[in-house]
Chain A
């Protein structure tokens, strides 16, 4: 899923200063699963904002709405009646949703209430961690299911750096060393000799480096 994190309250308050009526938009997909921008988080932020603005003497009217998705025209197109006369849209969807809504409703500003962070998994209740960077050229077959691009702080392809210690990354004791995880897999599957294969230079053109990416399936195009 796409994992996001709510922005600091003060930053959101600052963005909303010019407005007295907004639409607060959530999303029922990834940001709901990672508890950053689902209906529940929308309700919590809305009441925090109302209370704050009430106290400041400049009440803020907030319409709350959490569609199924913000990244599909099917859902985005149907937002018009909900937006109504809101002066701006504050979105708790990921960066894709925020932009897609803005592309459709061009007379409104769409403001981000979350920082979209990474593609990750729920490691345990209340904890999400990165697994993929969407580089567009998967090598998980070679590294036995652990991605060196996403899970090594230096995206090294041929082994750990000299800072790997006790299974941890040199960047933080909270972060597992991606290469320790890969070596553990080699050992578990009795394939340590595979480590000796020299991984060639990566073609980054399929990643962000090649410019904004697009996928087309002609057979599905209408």
Chain B
């Protein structure tokens, strides 16, 4: 077992709560600490995104260390878009040396969506191969090139992501099975707005026995406004926002929309918690970190173990 708090919580049979902290677009550590302040005590671990949507931000390693200093158990996200196998392995050693014990392996959004659309992308390896790479460093003490890791293997609890709402749907459970076979120990899913579809995916996951190999953390995002829900429905590839949810938000007075969004998110947490094989929730309160405490308390998940 690694030194990861998340691993401790999950292995202890507790229903885990993670959230996320997007690093700032500048070098001010206070921006990270401020966001972290909202989450303190309410989560078991916190994801630190890696230049999400391909917009340049403070590095995931840097922001993770700042959160670690605040007493958090950071989940350093790592995308394959910007670094080749040499840089990825090197950063893993560095991250481990700095006391980081969780890593989330992702392909990464295409740079077309970000603030540097003319950049060259890397994609030397994919997210599954990254999972395997980390497992190899940790368990076998070998670099990809075959050489031995000298004096101290990275101590990492290895995670991945899956989007049950992306296409082709029929391989989405198999894809998670493949990641589990590569060495993933936990998965965080894309935001769930369509619970019946998520249930269907979980059924396929259970049929493959994958829920017994990886801890599944269901992704939940509260909608702040009707505009945000509509944007995610129309403009974010692979996001499934049913029209019913928008109708429900429209049904309350304007000043009550945000509260309704939180209410829906709490209900979603309770619904996914009842699904066999779900080991926790990943709360993605996008630029709304101050609401995580309310969500965790409202869903009856406070205090944390």
Interface residues of chain A, those whose CB is within 8 Å of chain B, are 153-167, 170-171, 177, 179-180, 183-184, 187, 192, 195-196, 198-202, 204
Once A159-B171, A201-B125 are accepted as A-B contacts, the answer to whether A153 and B166 lie under 8 Å apart by CB is no
CA distance A202 to B163 in the complex (A): 25
CA distance A18 to B55 in the complex (A): 42
A154→B107 contact, CB < 8 A = yes
Which 8 pairs, one residue from A and one from B, show the smallest C-beta to C-beta distance? A162-B163, A170-B237, A163-B237, A158-B128, A156-B126, A161-B107, A183-B168, A162-B166
Interface residues of chain B, those whose CB is within 8 Å of chain A, are 80-81, 85, 107-110, 112-113, 121, 123-129, 132-133, 144, 161-163, 166-168, 170-171, 174-175, 177-178, 181-182, 190, 237-238
A164→B238 contact, CB < 8 A = yes
Which residues of chain B have C-beta atoms less than 8 A from A195's C-beta? 171, 174, 178
A171→B110 contact, CB < 8 A = yes
B237→A165 contact, CB < 8 A = yes
CA distance A192 to B175 in the complex (A): 12
CA distance A195 to B108 in the complex (A): 21
CB nearest neighbor in A for B179: A158
A179 to chain B, nearest CB (A): 8
* CB<8 Å pairs between A and B, sample of 5: A154-B121, A157-B126, A159-B178, A162-B237, A201-B144
A196→B126 contact, CB < 8 A = no
Which residues of chain B have C-beta atoms less than 8 A from A187's C-beta? 170
Which residues of chain B have C-beta atoms less than 8 A from A180's C-beta? 167-168
Which residues of chain A have C-beta atoms less than 8 A from B125's C-beta? 201-202
B132→A177 contact, CB < 8 A = no
Partner of A154, one of B110, B133, B168, B171: B110
B168→A163 contact, CB < 8 A = no
CA distance A162 to B124 in the complex (A): 18
Which residues of chain B have C-beta atoms less than 8 A from A171's C-beta? 110, 112
Which residues of chain B have C-beta atoms less than 8 A from A167's C-beta? 167
B129→A200 contact, CB < 8 A = yes
A170→B238 contact, CB < 8 A = yes
CB nearest neighbor in A for B125: A201
A147 to chain B, nearest CB (A): 14
A196→B123 contact, CB < 8 A = no
CB nearest neighbor in B for A197: B178
Which residues of chain A have C-beta atoms less than 8 A from B129's C-beta? 157-158, 199-201
CA distance A61 to B124 in the complex (A): 48
CA distance A184 to B81 in the complex (A): 26
B167→A164 contact, CB < 8 A = yes
CA distance A48 to B301 in the complex (A): 72
A196→B110 contact, CB < 8 A = no
